[in-house]
Structure 1
């Protein structure tokens, strides 16, 4: 589960990060040919971070509370953490402490009417809003058309009024998701990493914990990537899909946090003019205009 015990999360994360670093990569001599641990030993991490071995052992056992930013930065450097991993380490440190913190229910956040108008102001680009759990909270007409395989009644069982959820589609409807997403394997890996980052931010979110439990029970692919301890930030990039009407679309994605609505992300998909994908979006827009316009994306199952 994502929110079982922050100390367990800290332990597993730090062990996984030091296990991937060979001593030679860290500039340390590797004495002997038979090391009993993969990657760095605890004392080697302590040396690189400039802390005592006892102090590092306490940190790896989950006792990060009270660690200064300087110590955390030194630990991040010793373990060669990237930007997302460093942010995750700081999230874990801020949330660390005795187990059994207060649970909280975080139901889907209502999307302000002004934000729906922002989405609708993109007539030529699919645009949608999600939260950190990948609940689809609002869409414009092109995003509804683009994600029609996800938003339609699907083989993924859902409560009647539960929002569509991209993670459920990817992991619990793998055949449909693989047919839709060209890079399904990469998306599956990245989505688990982003959900773990969200778990670091909100370790006592009951809805997130329930989602991780549901995905863990129903998907071996999710269990595989969740166990990797990898984390990722939401970033701009490329999304390649096979749409049943518009065909292959290679879309540029901009993913932006909404400062006035903490926890919400605005995602906008575009394509350079004159490309096959731009022509595909025009076809998608024509197809979408002929469909009945549904209500805001909070109703879609999935």
Structure 2
């Protein structure tokens, strides 16, 4: 074992605080602050393993208390030494980043403690809660309940939305996927999403196995995962059934006006009339102005695929 002996004058005591957790140790005065933040032991002691330092702010405590910038983090810890033999105290704050859905305005909310509800976080945005009523997760676009605790979410990025920017989704399990003795309430899951959320977002939020489980809509189509929920908004409640086998026919319909295609799976018995209705709904088109064409031939409503 090799032990290095160093001059005590070149080391200093440091202290990190995050919420109710504290970590103290000694470090060389010349050590960069950024190097300390890469220490996994510090993260574990402070119970910060579920967050990245990109989601945090570092505050140096004392008479000149302030938030450190990225440039400050490259300075040595001795830069912030106030009194000889006194520890240098850093406090870590969670930085919550919120994007307004309507205009993409960025709102940053620094928090000393994540033990707050979504409703309390809404008030901290300083936006009118009569207009901006909901927060959604940034990854799956699910609307959060007002009483959910931020500390339980392990998330720091959210989207702020209005009432008319959300939709209600109901997912039922098919008989094949239902456990024995399951109640009707357990079989149904109501959730709210931003209208821009896709089928993939719904799958991710519900931890659907996208290779073996599918969402059946209107009992006759399985929309592709890139289709947005806004295309189903003609209904106040968007209903899906979780099934374990995809439907056999894959259909692709192209809207030549906007050069955009949609894809879904359907049953063998589906009619052209029904395909036409689905296409108009998913493209948000008025039925009387369009028709379906395949191989330069207009398809008849009564035909079966």
| Same fold, TM-score > 0.5, yes or no | no
Which structure has more RCO (C-alpha within 8 Å, separation ≥ 6)? 1
Higher strand share: 2
Relative to the length of structure 1, the TM-score reads 0.26
Larger Rg: 2
Higher helix share: 1
Relative to the length of structure 2, the TM-score reads 0.26
